[in-house]
Each structure stands twice: as C-alpha cells, then as structure tokens.
C-alpha cells in the first residue's frame, strides 16, 4: 500500500512539474525588445503547431530566421544572411538553441525567470574566442488598433 501511495505521489509531482514547465515555456512566446544597445534589436518566438519560429531583427531588418521542432533535431535557417544549422530543445522551462554557422558553434538559452515581462538570453560561443554574454529583454507590447 505504501509503495502505491509513493508511486501515485511521484506521478502527481511529475505531472505538476511538467505542467508548470509547459506554462513557463509558453511565457517565452511573443516579441521581446533588448533593453540596452545601440540598435533596436527584437526577438520574436512564435509557436506554429509543433514548429517554433525564432526571429531576430535589428532596426527592422531580419537578421535571424529559424523554424524548428524543439526536440533537438537539426533544422536549417539563416543568420545574418548565412545558412545555419540549428537545433532547439527545452531544458526545463528554458529554451536552448545550438547554432552552427560555418565552423562556429554558439548556444543561446532563453529563459523567463519570475517576471513574465522580462527575459534573458545567455549567449555562449563554443568554438571561437568570443566571450559569453547575456541579453536582457522586456516584452514588447504592440499598440492596440484604434
């Protein structure tokens, strides 16, 4: 009897954690504006069924466009006009994106921690000498039509 209760409790806790991660994952969706910077860089994450589209724009010009299933499989896109191979997956409530452009590999980790109107993107160059950095973004609220 005790084993059944422990198994049931474990199942309920796992289901609750999965449900919470799913809600947090959905909070990543939307358009985000980088808080600091010389350009007007925005990131947009949009779910289209099983496909997640990630788009980055700088001053209105699309500089990154990737459409992937967030299951770790490879997909193709463009980054600053160059073809890239990308894989995306969820690590808990965070979205991890690994991008290969030529011989350079970079990871980005998208996370909303606490406040649903704030997101961070941790950027980590893996194969070149660049330094890791963090982008801080706020949710971009579009003006409602009048």
Instruction: Give tens-digit pLDDT for 83-131.
Output: 999 999 999 999 999 999 999 999 999 999 777 899 999 999 999 888 9
Write out the residue range of the structural domain in which residue 38 sits.
2-139
User: Does residue 74 form part of some domain?
Assistant: yes
Q: What pLDDT does residue 24 have?
A: 63
- Assign residue 124 the CATH number of its domain: 2.40.128.20
Residue 80 has what DSSP assignment?
T
Q: How many domains does one find in the chain?
A: 1
User: Does residue 42 form part of some domain?
Assistant: yes
User: Does residue 16 form part of some domain?
Assistant: yes
Closest alpha carbon to 106 in 41, 56, 42: 56
Select the more confidently predicted residue: 125 or 21: 125
Q: What are the C-alpha distances in Å from 113 to residues 25, 27, 75, 118?
A: 11, 10, 27, 7
Structure tokens given for 136: 């801080």
Structure tokens given for 31: 């358009």
- Predicted model pTM: 0.79
């Amino acid at each position: 009897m005790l084993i059944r209760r422990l198994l049931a409790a474990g199942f309920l806790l796992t289901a609750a954690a999965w449900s919470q991660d799913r809600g947090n994952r959905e909070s990543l969706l939307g358009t985000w504006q980088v808080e600091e910077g010389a350009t007007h860089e925005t990131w947009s994450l949009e779910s289209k069924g099983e496909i997640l589209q990630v788009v980055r724009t700088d001053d209105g010009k699309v500089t990154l466009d990737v459409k992937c299933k967030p299951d770790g499989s490879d997909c193709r896109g463009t980054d600053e006009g160059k073809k890239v191979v990308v894989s995306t997956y969820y690590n808990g409530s965070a979205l991890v994106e690994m991008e290969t452009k030529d011989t350079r590999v970079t990871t980005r980790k998208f996370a909303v921690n606490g406040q649903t109107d704030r997101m961070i993107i941790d950027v980590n160059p893996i194969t070149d000498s660049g330094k890791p950095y963090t982008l801080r973004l706020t949710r971009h609220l579009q003006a409602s039509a009048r």
